[in-house]
Amino acid sequence: MHRPPPVCAAVIGGSVALFVVDAVLSQGATLRGGLGPIFQWLALYGPLVQEGQYWRVLGCILTHGGPLHLAFNMWVAYSLGTAFERAIGSGRFLLLSLIAALGSSAFALLFNFEAVTVGASGMILGYGGAMLVTATREFRRDIIFWLVQVAVLSLIPGVSWAGHLGGFLFGLPVGVALRFGPRVFARAAPLLLAIAGAVVYITAHPERFRG
């Protein structure tokens, strides 16, 4: 197993570290399906984001609901993200990660405002969306097959289909920008990041934007 590049290493290392610390602070409750203090502080929950706890929009990405949830997401983040980060560079990959994470949280807030949402899977779906646009024809078939599998898993009760969909949809335009080259990406990425942030704000405050 090769050492992951910086952004993937930060996502994996940060997620594992937070889970371990939460398990210690909760005296092992998180290992048995309980909720630790870090989970409660970082999990995405619409009413609390609405009150101004905006750190949850990104913090939820590094928070997981149990050891299996953590292990599965980190395995996919490593296997999918490592190669893509090396291919496009860590700076571009970081922007993709942020845009996809914000898009994932925005859709989770839009469709499941009062649900508690955690996990990196929405951001990882953003990687899939970007790779779908940039991949070769042969590799694109593998990406489509994987996306179909994830779509089926998203139908399981308790899985955030909205977060998955949001991450994927926001990853697509990043992939388009990557395909057009560095100059286009340098102009498009900040705009996409701003749009993702604006959508998060709108979905976190639906009362301000109702007609």
Among 60, 147, 45, 52, which Cα is nearest to 101's? 60
The per-residue pLDDT for 1 is 64
The per-residue pLDDT for 203 is 96
Tell me how many domains the chain contains.
Answer: 1
Question: Could you say which of 121, 154, 160, 205 is catalytic?
Answer: 121
Query: What is the token pair recorded at 129?
Result: 């969306």
* pLDDT tens-place string over residues 4-21: 899 999 999 999 999 999
Query: Does a structural domain hold residue 1?
Result: no
Query: Does a structural domain hold residue 25?
Result: yes
Coil, strand, or helix at residue 83? helix
The per-residue pLDDT for 211 is 59
The per-residue pLDDT for 208 is 79
Running DSSP on this structure, what letter comes out for residue 45?
Answer: -
Write out the residue range of the structural domain in which residue 204 sits: 6-208
Please report, for the domain that includes residue 78, its CATH number.
Answer: 1.20.1540.10
| Known catalytic membership, residue 79 | no
| Known catalytic membership, residue 164 | yes
Q: Which segments of the chain have a pLDDT < 50?
A: none
The per-residue pLDDT for 181 is 94
Query: Distance (Å, rounded) from C-alpha 16 to C-alpha 74?
Result: 9
Beta bridge partners, 117, equal 44
